[in-house]
Amino acid sequence: MKEYNYTKVSKATEVLFKKMGCSSDDARNISEILLRADLRGIKTHGLVRLPEYYRLVRLGKIIPDASPEVVHSSPSTAVLDAGKGFGMVAGIKAMELAIEKAEVAGTGWVGVRNSNHFGIAGAYALMAAQKDMIGITMTNANPLVAPTFSRKPLLGTNPMAYAVPAGEYPPFLADFATAPVSRGKLDAWTLLGQLSPEGLLQDEQGQPTVEANTLTRKGSIRTLGGEVETGGHKGFCLSAVVDIFSAVLSGANFGPTVIPTLGYLAGDNQSDEDKGIGHFFGAMRVDAFQKKEAFLTQMDRWIEEFRKAAPVAGKERIVIPGDPERELEEKHLENNTIPLMGDVVEKVSETAQELGTDFLTD
């Protein structure tokens, strides 16, 4: 891990998205959300993704100048067709629309279909929190997770994010995959030759395994909670709800019908029936439920009660969801730095070459 100048990385990344065919505005927005993952220490969702994005652009799975369009609406809802564009472009437009609807109706709810990977879910939820609204984001994804009793993966790691504004404190932000472990973590364990903890994975037959590379051998991640006796069926419910809200409501590809990126890149699964992945965004004005000041004060109290509670031996305190990532982001923005792995810069530079330009060479 090395620290780079954030302004330079940001400008250079924007250039690459423009070279791919994005408008200046879209290039800036995509770049900002992508790099925000690195600033917040969520490196699996950051710049490392850029080369894959470009391969999908070249295959026509991502259309860089697509413009999301509203295809259905009611006073508090809408559905956008992302036109196979970058997920970030649709994501920003969808959350802006949800916020706009909430201004009038109290809440706004926007589904997106025909979309692609949108980076970190929390970035959109936080847009609502900045307006004194609760922000909600969900998305479905490549099938990697086996429902309870299933031999095969049928669901994605299907993240959900909830941002809740507070008064004196920064927003609460719960941003989590509904699966217990990410592909990124499994890859890291595999590289280190490390086994996975018990209960997280299964092999091609659906039998428990601790082999961290099980996904490369047709295995699956299990649902949050693991076995039924430890609540794994609840994890299945949760992933299923994210899939239904993101994809069935909007008309995107759901569950096992999502076309896996890796398979697609390898030339498999180029189904005709590609409505992309789907997302779901919500914005709820807190003053649609209570006087704004009363809500914000009570949320401050919530944060204080959990922060001051007694921790177990060896831990300093209970972590308020979102605190560690925000603190990291603030530190980096103060120093105008961004942490990147050496091979990420190298691989993005190769993509830059393909695009007829350089990345961070001056």
Residue list 143-182, contact with a copy of itself (CB under 8 A): 147-152, 154, 162, 164, 172, 174, 176-181
| Interface with a copy of itself, residue 235, by CB under 8 A | yes
The region that residue 231 occupies, defined by phi over 0 for left and psi between -120 and 50 for alpha, beta otherwise, is left
Token output for 225: 């909670």
Rounded Cα distance between 109 and 99, Å, is 9
Q: Could you give the 3-state DSSP secondary structure of residue 284?
A: strand
Nearest distance in Å: CB 320, a copy of itself: 9
| Interface with a copy of itself, residue 91, by CB under 8 A | no
Binding segment (CB under 8 A) for a copy of itself, from list 20-28, 43-51, 122-130, 198-206? 198-206
Q: Are the CB atoms for 138 and 280 separated by under 8 Å?
A: yes
| Interface with a copy of itself, residue 324, by CB under 8 A | no
Q: Which residue, 57 or 164, is less far from a copy of itself as judged by CB?
A: 164
Amino acid at 67: S
Q: Which residue, 6 or 295, is less far from a copy of itself as judged by CB?
A: 295
Nearest distance in Å: CB 15, a copy of itself: 36
| Interface with a copy of itself, residue 207, by CB under 8 A | yes
| Interface with a copy of itself, residue 302, by CB under 8 A | yes
| Interface with a copy of itself, residue 200, by CB under 8 A | yes
- Which of 1, 60, 192, 229 contacts a copy of itself by CB under 8 A? 229
Token output for 200: 């997280």
| Interface with a copy of itself, residue 299, by CB under 8 A | yes
Rounded Cα distance between 154 and 179, Å, is 12
- Which of 256, 326, 336, 357 contacts a copy of itself by CB under 8 A? 256
Closest CA to 124 of 89, 79, 85, 83: 89
| DSSP H or E stretch at residue 137 | strand 133-139
- The set of residues, in sequence order, having a beta carbon less than 8 Å from that of 10 and lying 6+ positions away, is 31, 32, 35, 338
Q: Which residue, 85 or 251, is less far from a copy of itself as judged by CB?
A: 251
| Interface with a copy of itself, residue 272, by CB under 8 A | no
In the numeric block, the tokens 């490196």 are attached to: 43
- Which of 35, 123, 249, 352 contacts a copy of itself by CB under 8 A? 249
